[in-house]
């Protein structure tokens, strides 16, 4: 039973229980990844499940990679002794890989669609559009629908379409929905959505949300396809279940509906993606969904924390009880491992005059901890709510010559030069991709200007053919000068040549040759601007990445490479072994841990963010975000806020975040004037309701009123004058 070694009782149960759907509620630092990986290993080694029949879904590639590594390690250990006991569960025909399928939702769906999307009338060679491509395509739609892009913003349509897809609402449904109410704007959105979707189809492209939605569509429309995958993925595990949206929920539900061997792991207190339609109810109501879930056993909650010291755990617990939308059944506060309190330094709260001094303060502490406490740089992180806050911090780190790494901002694959080259690859694979074709036709400049491209597009629209076909038939286009035609023909020959080469060359070699032939680097050198050098470096890195991809993967095709890079996100490429302090948003911080954590910008309007003030639900999400931040810290934790903060060219006058008081981080100066006894954070006893904590306080003296959360979760507004409260 070596797989169970080193696990506590709860964790063992979670690993072993294979007879029903399983919900595991895992608090921060409770060994969630360990449970998932050990469960996978247990299924394979102890129960004889074929790895081929296991699917584990995560939200980032980084999490997937980490999980793969750990599973591989577990499977390697004691190899040989267990193999004899392995019983294959069907699917003997198919090649058995030693490793289960561990990947993100998006790449899992992409893979399914690569195989079977033709069954619902799509081309299997589709390309994947990122959000910038999406935005450009929507702009095209607006133009064609003659909607004034100044009056109606393209990003607003993009967001609406994303939200719709995340909830599995296709444009037909969206249209029907709008018909039931008189909403001009929604009707317009429905029109854009329809047009956008048809254009995607013409380009043979899918956007991110399509990957999930089309897979669900495929499963629903083709039961035989669904069954194929149900037989393939007999055991399903989902990580970060609290962050699944409706589409992802439907995907897992469909897959699991046959064998019901589904194990989901999550923590609603760490749900921070409602803004992209993650639905916290998925985890709150898991047992309703899966009736076979044994309520006497599950949910299994793991609230023992192996990560943080007691003072940090206390703050996290203090803060999170202010949220109402939580599962009430798990007595949910984090407990230190083994009931033994781990001592540690008291978290620090520091007020600063402005964002520059805030950065200086952080730097000072980084230096001190590095020097005095020997905390390595890579074990420290600075968190902030919005990406824009990173600039000042970066400057400070650069000046101080302390190594740092920013996660976020502009990702490698979002750089213009990289996107240009990738657009070439896309067209080579899928010439129907008119958006990418338009992008590269004159990059680097080869004399094919806007007018020429517009004429070709008009021609294509008139003849109902794609832009690429228009390129092929350029001789037939009237109104183009012979010079233009000649230039287009040259471009066409170039593309023909590379379409051939795509078949014979590896993707690394292909990119290298292509960049050279089109003179991309030459043109950058000529431009010799501030960024040229960096861009050339980036291109070299791209070639590198392609070569590495070929080394690492079985499928070395350009197609596979494109898919890989399309689905990479920023956190995936961040290397935590680098000897650098990490700067990132609170959203990116989930799932990570550091010895030292700085949470900066603890101000009303930033954390909680001003856009979250309207609804209690949104405020709770901000609180969870703060909770996530706090619980990343193993030992040292800092909060900073600035009285005055310049951002986006304006000055914001900051008030200390309400979360500071809620978490019970007190500074002397923060006490209410005239020494009010009943202030926020104070624990009281009420003669009728018992023990509670003050979460809001208004008025002074005789008029003092407080809002209290009582132990059972009840909230009451009380006047000090009448309610006989005792401080404890």
Partner DNA sequence: GATCAGTAATGTGGA
Partner DNA sequence: ATTACTGATC
Residues of this chain that bind DNA (CB under 7 A): 59-60, 104-106, 131, 139, 149-150, 153, 155, 159, 162, 166, 208-209, 274-276, 385-388, 408, 442, 445-452, 481, 484, 567, 569-571, 585, 587-588, 609, 611-612, 618, 621, 648-649
Active site residue 270: yes
544 with 537: CB under 8 angstroms? no
Nearest to 393 by CA among 425, 371, 365: 365
Q: How far is CA 29 from CA 304, 582, 609, in A?
A: 8, 19, 26
Rg (CA), the chain: 28
Q: In which residue are the tokens 């964790």 written?
A: 11
- DSSP class of residue 83? G
Q: Please report how close the Cβ of residue 406 comes to DNA at its closest, in angstroms.
A: 11
b/e 617-655 (16+ beta carbons within 10 angstroms → b): ebbbbbbbbbbbbbbbbbbbbbbbbbbebeeeeeebebe
Per the residue annotation, which of 45, 632, 635, 645 is the catalytic one? 632
Closer residue to DNA in complex, CB, 451/499:
451
Nearest to 634 by CA among 594, 576, 591, 679: 594
Active site residue 475: no
Active site residue 252: no
470 with 460: CB under 8 angstroms? yes
Q: Where are the alpha helices (DSSP H) in 260-303?
A: 281-284, 286-289
Per the residue annotation, which of 134, 197, 252, 270 is the catalytic one? 270
Closer residue to DNA in complex, CB, 210/305:
210
Q: In which residue are the tokens 């233009």 written?
A: 484
Q: Which residues contact 727 (CB under 8 A, 6 or more apart)?
A: 677, 678, 682, 683, 684
Chain mean position to CA 188: 29
Active site residue 478: no
Closer residue to DNA in complex, CB, 321/565:
565
**Residue 30 burial (CB < 10 Å; 0-12/13-18/19+)?**
buried
Structure tokens at 448: 């094919």
Q: Please report how close the Cβ of residue 214 comes to DNA at its closest, in angstroms.
A: 14
**Count of beta carbons in the 10 Å neighbourhood of residue 417:** 21
- DSSP class of residue 524? H
Q: Please report how close the Cβ of residue 480 comes to DNA at its closest, in angstroms.
A: 8
Per the residue annotation, which of 10, 11, 16, 32 is the catalytic one? 32
578 with 405: CB under 8 angstroms? yes
Q: State the Cα–Cα distance between residues 115 and 360, nearest whole angstrom.
A: 53
Closer residue to DNA in complex, CB, 651/726:
651
Per the residue annotation, which of 140, 209, 239, 620 is the catalytic one? 239
Q: Please report how close the Cβ of residue 485 comes to DNA at its closest, in angstroms.
A: 10
Closer residue to DNA in complex, CB, 187/572:
572
**Count of beta carbons in the 10 Å neighbourhood of residue 142:** 20
Q: State the Cα–Cα distance between residues 503 and 94, nearest whole angstrom.
A: 27
Q: What does the DSSP assignment read for 367-392?
A: HHHHHHS---GGGEEEEESSGGGHHH
Closer residue to DNA in complex, CB, 110/380:
110
Q: In which residue are the tokens 């794609």 written?
A: 466
Closer residue to DNA in complex, CB, 368/646:
646
Q: State the Cα–Cα distance between residues 105 and 100, nearest whole angstrom.
A: 15
Closer residue to DNA in complex, CB, 418/723:
418
Active site residue 585: no
Sign of CA dihedral 128, 131, 136, 139: positive
Q: Please report how close the Cβ of residue 557 comes to DNA at its closest, in angstroms.
A: 21
Q: How far is CA 169 from CA 155, 161, 176, in A?
A: 19, 9, 10
Q: Angle of helix 223-232 relative to helix 246-256, nearest 10 degrees? A: 80
Q: Please report how close the Cβ of residue 103 comes to DNA at its closest, in angstroms.
A: 10
Closer residue to DNA in complex, CB, 344/411:
411
Q: Please report how close the Cβ of residue 211 comes to DNA at its closest, in angstroms.
A: 8
Per the residue annotation, which of 12, 33, 492, 644 is the catalytic one? 33
Task: Calculate the CA dihedral of residues 601, 361, 402, 577 and round it to 10 degrees.
Answer: -50
Q: State the Cα–Cα distance between residues 71 and 13, nearest whole angstrom.
A: 18
Strands (E) in 441-586, as ranges, are 581-585
Q: Please report how close the Cβ of residue 140 comes to DNA at its closest, in angstroms.
A: 10
Closer residue to DNA in complex, CB, 18/159:
159
Closer residue to DNA in complex, CB, 571/660:
571
Q: Please report how close the Cβ of residue 708 comes to DNA at its closest, in angstroms.
A: 28
Q: Please report how close the Cβ of residue 567 comes to DNA at its closest, in angstroms.
A: 6
Q: In which residue are the tokens 């005792």 written?
A: 726
Active site residue 32: yes
Q: Please report how close the Cβ of residue 155 comes to DNA at its closest, in angstroms.
A: 5
654 with 643: CB under 8 angstroms? yes
**Residue 669 burial (CB < 10 Å; 0-12/13-18/19+)?**
exposed
Nearest to 215 by CA among 260, 247, 261: 247
Q: Please report how close the Cβ of residue 134 comes to DNA at its closest, in angstroms.
A: 8
Closer residue to DNA in complex, CB, 31/408:
408
26 with 35: CB under 8 angstroms? yes
Per the residue annotation, which of 240, 243, 289, 357 is the catalytic one? 240
Residue positions counted in the chain: 728
Active site residues: 32-33, 239-240, 270, 632
């Amino acid at each position: 039973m070596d797989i169970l070694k080193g696990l506590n009782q709860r964790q063992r149960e979670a690993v072993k229980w294979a007879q029903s759907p399983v919900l595991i509620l895992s608090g921060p630092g409770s060994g969630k990844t360990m449970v998932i990986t050990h469960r996978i290993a247990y299924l394979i080694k102890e129960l004889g499940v074929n790895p081929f029949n296991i699917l584990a879904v995560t939200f980032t590639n980084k999490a997937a990679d980490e999980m793969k590594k750990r599973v591989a390690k577990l499977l390697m250990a004691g190899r040989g002794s267990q193999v004899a006991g392995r019983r294959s569960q069907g699917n003997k025909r198919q090649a058995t890989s030693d490793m289960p399928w561990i990947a993100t939702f998006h790449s899992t769906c992409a893979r399914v669609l690569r195989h079977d999307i033709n069954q619902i009338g799509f081309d299997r060679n589709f390309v994947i559009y990122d959000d910038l491509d999406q935005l450009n395509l929507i702009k095209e739609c607006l133009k064609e629908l003659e909607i004034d892009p100044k009056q109606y913003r393209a990003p607003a349509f993009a967001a609406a379409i994303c939200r719709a897809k995340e909830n599995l609402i296709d444009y037909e449904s969206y249209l029907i929905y709008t018909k039931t109410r008189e909403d001009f704007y929604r009707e317009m959105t429905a029109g854009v959505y329809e047009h956008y979707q048809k254009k995607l189809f013409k380009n043979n492209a899918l956007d991110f949300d399509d990957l999930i939605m089309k897979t669900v569509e495929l499963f629903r429309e083709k039961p035989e396809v669904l069954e194929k995958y149900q037989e393939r993925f007999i055991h399903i595990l989902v990580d970060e279940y609290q962050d699944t949206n409706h589409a992802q929920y439907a995907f897992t539900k469909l897959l699991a509906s046959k064998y019901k061997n589904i194990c989901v792991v999550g923590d609603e207190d760490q749900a921070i993606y409602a803004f992209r339609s993650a639905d916290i109810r998925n985890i709150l109501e898991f047992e309703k969904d899966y009736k076979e879930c044994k309520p006497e056993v599950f949910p299994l909650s793991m609230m023992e924390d192996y990560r943080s010291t007691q003072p940090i755990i206390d703050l996290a617990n203090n803060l999170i009880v202010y949220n109402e939308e939580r599962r009430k059944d798990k007595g949910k506060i984090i407990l230190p491992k083994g009931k033994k309190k781990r001592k540690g330094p008291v978290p620090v709260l520091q007020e600063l005059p402005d964002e520059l001094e805030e950065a200086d303060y952080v730097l000072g502490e980084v230096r001190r901890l590095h020097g005095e406490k020997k905390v390595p740089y890579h074990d420290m992180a600075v968190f902030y709510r919005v990406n824009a806050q990173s600039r000042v911090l970066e400057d400070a780190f650069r000046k101080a010559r302390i190594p740092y790494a920013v996660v976020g901002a502009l990702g490698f694959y979002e750089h213009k030069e990289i996107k240009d080259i990738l657009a070439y690859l896309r067209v080579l694979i899928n010439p129907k991709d008119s958006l990418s074709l338009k992008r590269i036709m004159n990059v680097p400049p080869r004399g094919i200007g806007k007018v020429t491209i517009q004429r070709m597009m008009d021609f294509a629209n008139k003849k109902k053919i794609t832009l690429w076909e228009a390129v092929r038939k350029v001789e037939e286009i009237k109104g183009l000068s012979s010079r233009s035609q000649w230039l287009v023909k040259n471009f066409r020959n170039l593309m023909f040549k590379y379409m051939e080469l795509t078949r014979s060359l590896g993707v690394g070699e292909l990119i290298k040759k292509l960049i050279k032939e089109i003179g991309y680097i030459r043109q950058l050198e000529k431009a010799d601007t501030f960024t040229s050098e960096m861009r050339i470096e980036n291109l070299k890195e791209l070639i590198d990445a392609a070569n590495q991809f070929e080394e690492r993967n079985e499928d070395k095709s350009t197609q596979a490479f494109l898919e890989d890079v399309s689905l990479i996100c920023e956190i995936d490429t961040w290397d935590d072994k680098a000897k650098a302090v990490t700067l990132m948003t609170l959203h990116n911080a989930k799932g990570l841990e550091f010895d030292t954590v700085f949470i900066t910008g603890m101000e009303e309007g930033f954390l909680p963010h001003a856009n979250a003030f309207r609804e209690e639900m949104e405020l709770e999400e901000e609180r969870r975000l703060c909770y996530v931040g706090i619980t990343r810290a193993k030992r040292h934790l800092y909060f900073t806020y600035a009285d005055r903060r310049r951002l986006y060219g304006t000055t914001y006058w900051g008030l200390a975040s309400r979360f500071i008081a809620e978490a019970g981080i007190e500074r002397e100066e923060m006490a209410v004037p005239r020494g009010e006894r009943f202030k926020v954070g104070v624990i009281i006893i009420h003669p009728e309701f018992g023990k509670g904590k003050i979460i809001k306080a208004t008025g002074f003296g005789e008029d003092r009123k407080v809002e209290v959360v009582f132990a059972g979760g009840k909230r009451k507004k009380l006047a000090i004058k009448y309610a006989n409260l005792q401080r404890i």
